[in-house]
Amino acid sequence: LRSLAADKGYDKQQLRERLRELDIRPLIKHRIFAPYDHAHNARIDDDRYAQRSMAETVNSAVKRSLGYAVRARTWYREFREIALMCVVYNIKQAIKQ
C-alpha cells in the first residue's frame, strides 16, 4: 500500500501521522477550518484522489445490482464472495455493451 485515499470524514492528524510512519501517503482532503487548509487541499494530486470517487461509484453500482450483504462468515470466503460479485458485475457490463 503506497497511498490511502479517503474523504474528509477521515481527516484526523493522528491517522495522517500513523500512515506516514508506515510510509503510506495519505490522500485525505482537509476539512476547511483555516485558510491554510485550502493550501493543503490544493497540494493533493487530483488524478490520484479522483480514483477514490471512481471506486466508490463502482462499489455503489455493485451493491445496487447484486445486493449489499455478504453472507460468508470467514474473511477468506467474504473476500472470495466480493471478488465473484465484481466478476459478475463486469460480465453484466460487458454484455450491455
Tens-place pLDDT, residues 28-83:
877 788 888 788 878 887 777 777 777 778 888 888 888 888 888 898 898 899 88
Residues 89 and 54 in one domain: no
Same-domain check for residues 50 and 12: yes
Q: Report the distance separating Cα 26 and Cα 4, nearest Å.
A: 5
pLDDT tens digits for range 4-33: 888 777 778 899 899 999 999 888 877 788
Domain count, the chain: 2
Which residues constitute the domain of residue 77? Answer: 68-96
Sequence-ordered list of residues with C-beta below 8 angstroms from that of 52, at least 6 positions apart, any chain = 5, 6, 7, 27
How many other β-carbons are positioned within 10 Å of the β-carbon of residue 55? 11
Query: What pLDDT shows up at residue 94?
Result: 93
Give yes or no: residues 23 and 10 share one domain: yes
pLDDT digits (tens, 9 = 90+) for 84-97: 988 998 999 899 98
DSSP 25: E
Q: Is residue 3 domain-shared with residue 19, that is, in the same domain?
A: yes
pTM: 0.51
Residue for cell digits 490511502? 4
